[in-house]
């Protein structure tokens, strides 16, 4: 798929998931709307958090349009509509808003400035993440489409800025925005106002909005959040289509040790969905380094960074990537399902028995499952891997009288009976993945009651039942001898 000149692209709908973390650190600049997004930042969390109910759905709705530059034939993305307009902001708040709004256009059009007016254009749905200097995060949910009208015209993007991570739900909201866009911008306003006044539902709950559409009357729109929210932001289908189970496990192993990983693909959809799925395999841990599923051309030198990163690059930049000075990189060609570069030890990072357990679990019955079941089927073996290797962490956090916990690292990994498991965990506890996780655990008096903790308890119960059966079998054998 051509991603520079859109007039060359084939038809058909595509879904993108451009989940990009950047540091908003520069002031706004009229001639370069992406200037505020240039500096990359390590963030403390990759996996989008599971929010409780009660939060507002979004902060802004913006429309980003392409405007021709004063010189040359290129276009630049520019915000042409913003809701709500913030007034009476304090100086610091106004500066923060300006930095945020100046960064958005670059990521609404991540595939360059070589555009041409079109008569047909397939809609695209994608998202990105901006990280502010104080660590707060904003997610941009985007719908790119061709506005109504006669003759050739340029696409525009409707972008909803929110602090909440729930891609499926916001995709439905963008469906409603698109439906109203076909009538008039004025029809979008009351819908978004009603959404802004509604509270974001807790997992498994539904919020219903009342909305009037001319010639159609009053509509009631129900927005339901999945009951199990830890996978509501990911789709593993593209990753499974592009790579073998063995390759996925090697990518997981590289990510666990926080190495540099680059994905190459022609299509933005394939690129962004695969890298997002690869990062999601780390649950309950969070990628804490540079993470850009679709690298804009101006940020291509990211592949030269000495620190860990996980990035996606369009195939047309393959040679530039190959010619860049890089060390210890795993370079994944998603188009051909191959590794172009590797460290060489990817198959030996994980304990062999646990690696075989993951492989065997992935291969069982996946062809019979729905997309939701596929997500659970793929994620489950990797969660179980962490349950078996580090699921006993809570027993090795010693607390003082004030409630502050201190992790007993040496005792923790020595508690593992398997030498290969112990060897792996000794390396893993030195990563930021584990350090950030254990820091949160030290602050909390009780383990979080989430999906990971549920799987830990299930595993401990299975071990107890196995011991009980073994004792029973032993007594039976002794009785028979007597």
Secondary structure in 3-state letters for 195-223: HHHCECCCCCCEEEEEEEECCCEEEEEEE
Q: Is residue 81 part of a domain?
A: yes
Q: Is residue 474 part of a domain?
A: no
**Residue 159 shares a structural domain with residue 242:** no
Q: Is residue 13 part of a domain?
A: no
**Residue 446 shares a structural domain with residue 411:** yes
With residues binned 3-state (H G I as helix, E B as strand, rest as coil), the percentages for the chain, rounded to 5, are: 40, 20, 40
Q: How confident is the model at residue 401 (pLDDT cuts 50, 70, 90)?
A: confident
Nearest to 412 by CA among 449, 370, 442, 371: 442
Give the range of the structural domain holding residue 313, as residue numbers without chain letter: 236-362
φ, ψ (nearest 5 deg) of residue 129: -130, 130
The DSSP output letter for 388 is H
Q: Is residue 84 part of a domain?
A: yes
239-286 pLDDT, tens digit each = 999 999 999 999 999 999 999 999 999 877 788 789 889 999 999 998
**Residue 411 shares a structural domain with residue 450:** yes
Region of poorest pLDDT, from 34-43, 50-59, 91-100, 421-430: 34-43
Nearest to 140 by CA among 101, 172, 178: 101
**Residue 217 shares a structural domain with residue 80:** yes
Q: How confident is the model at residue 418 (pLDDT cuts 50, 70, 90)?
A: very high
CA distance 32 to 77: 9
Please tell me the predicted confidence (pLDDT) of residue 130.
76
Q: Is residue 368 part of a domain?
A: no
Does residue 136 have a pLDDT over 60? yes
**Residue 195 shares a structural domain with residue 300:** no
φ, ψ (nearest 5 deg) of residue 276: -65, -40
Q: Map tokens 């291969």 to a residue.
A: 363
Length of the chain: 482
Domain count, the chain: 3
**Residue 145 shares a structural domain with residue 174:** yes
**Residue 336 shares a structural domain with residue 378:** no
Residues 34-65, buried b or exposed e (16+ Cβ, 10 A)? bbbbbebbbbebbbbebbeeeeebbbbbbbbb
Does residue 445 have a pLDDT over 80? no
101-117 pLDDT, tens digit each = 888 998 888 777 778 89
**Residue 84 shares a structural domain with residue 219:** yes
Largest distance between two CA atoms of the chain: 98
Q: How confident is the model at residue 473 (pLDDT cuts 50, 70, 90)?
A: low
CA distance 162 to 141: 8
- Token pair, residue 123, equals 């809609």
Question: pTM, whole model, 2 decimals?
Answer: 0.78
For the chain, what is the radius of gyration of the CA atoms? Answer: 24
Q: Is residue 407 part of a domain?
A: yes
**Residue 412 shares a structural domain with residue 437:** yes
**Residue 356 shares a structural domain with residue 393:** no
Q: Is residue 33 part of a domain?
A: no
143-174 pLDDT, tens digit each = 888 888 889 999 999 999 998 878 778 888 99
Please tell me the predicted confidence (pLDDT) of residue 106.
84
Rounded to 5°, the CA angle 180-66-98 comes to: 85
CATH assignment at residue 331: 3.40.50.11500
- Give the three-state DSSP class for 286: coil
- Token pair, residue 154, equals 């340029």
- Token pair, residue 368, equals 């019979």
- Greater pLDDT, 97 or 40: 97
Report strand pairing: 206-213 vs 75-83.
Answer: unpaired
Q: Distances in Å between the alpha carbon of 130 and those of 36, 83, 172, 291?
A: 10, 19, 22, 11
Q: Distances in Å between the alpha carbon of 287 and those of 151, 162, 297, 334, 473?
A: 45, 21, 23, 21, 45
- Token pair, residue 76, equals 């630049």
**Residue 84 shares a structural domain with residue 196:** yes
**Residue 220 shares a structural domain with residue 241:** no
CATH assignment at residue 102: 3.30.450.200
Number of H helices, E strands in the chain: 13, 16
Q: How confident is the model at residue 477 (pLDDT cuts 50, 70, 90)?
A: low
Q: Is residue 358 part of a domain?
A: yes
């Amino acid at each position: 798929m051509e991603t520079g000149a859109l007039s060359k692209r084939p038809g058909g709908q595509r879904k993108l998931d451009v989940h990009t973390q950047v540091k908003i650190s520069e002031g706004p600049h009229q001639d370069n709307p992406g200037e505020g997004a240039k500096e990359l930042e390590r963030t403390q969390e990759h996996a989008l958090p599971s929010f409780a109910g009660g939060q507002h759905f979004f902060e802004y709705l913006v429309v980003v349009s392409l405007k021709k530059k004063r010189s040359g034939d290129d276009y630049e993305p520019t915000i042409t509509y913003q809701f709500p307009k913030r007034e009476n902001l304090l100086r610091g708040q106004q500066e923060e808003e300006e930095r945020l709004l100046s960064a958005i256009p670059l990521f609404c059009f991540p595939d360059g400035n070589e555009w041409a007016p079109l008569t047909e254009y397939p809609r695209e749905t994608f998202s990105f993440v901006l990280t502010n200097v104080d660590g707060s995060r904003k997610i941009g949910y985007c719908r790119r489409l061709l506005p109504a009208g006669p003759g050739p015209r340029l696409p525009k993007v409707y972008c909803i800025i929110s602090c909440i991570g729930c891609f499926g739900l916001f995709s439905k909201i963008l469906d409603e925005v698109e439906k109203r866009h076909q009538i008039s911008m004025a029809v979008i306003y009351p819908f978004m106002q009603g959404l802004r006044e509604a509270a974001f539902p807790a997992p498994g709950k539904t919020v219903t909005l009342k909305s009037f559409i001319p010639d159609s009357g009053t509509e009631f729109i129900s927005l339901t959040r999945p009951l199990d929210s830890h996978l509501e932001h990911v789709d593993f289908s593209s990753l499974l289509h592009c790579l073998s189970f063995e390759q996925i496990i090697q990518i997981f192993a590289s990510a666990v040790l926080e190495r540099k990983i680059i994905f190459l693909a022609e299509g933005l959809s394939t690129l962004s969905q695969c890298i997002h799925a690869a990062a999601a395999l780390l649950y309950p841990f969070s990628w804490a380094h540079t993470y850009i599923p679709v690298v804009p051309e101006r940020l291509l030198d990211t592949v030269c960074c000495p620190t860990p990163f996980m990035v996606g690059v369009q195939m047309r930049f393959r040679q530039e990537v190959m010619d860049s000075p890089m060390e210890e990189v795993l370079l994944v060609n998603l188009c051909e399902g191959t590794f172009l570069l590797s460290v060489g030890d990817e198959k030996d990072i994980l304990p062999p028995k646990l690696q075989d357990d993951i492989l065997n679990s992935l291969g069982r019955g996946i062809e019979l499952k729905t997309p939701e079941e596929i997500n659970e089927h793929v994620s489950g073996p990797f969660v179980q891997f962490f349950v078996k290797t580090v699921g006993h962490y809570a027993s090795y956090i010693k607390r003082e009288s004030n409630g502050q916990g201190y992790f007993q690292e040496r005792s923790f990994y020595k508690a593992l009976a398997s030498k290969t498991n112990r060897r792996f965990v000794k390396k893993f506890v030195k990563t930021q993945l584990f350090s950030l996780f254990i820091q949160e655990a030290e602050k909390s008096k009780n383990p979080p009651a989430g999906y990971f903790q549920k799987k830990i308890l299930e595993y401990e119960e299975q071990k107890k039942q196995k011991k009980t059966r073994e004792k029973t079998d032993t007594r039976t054998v002794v009785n028979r001898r007597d």
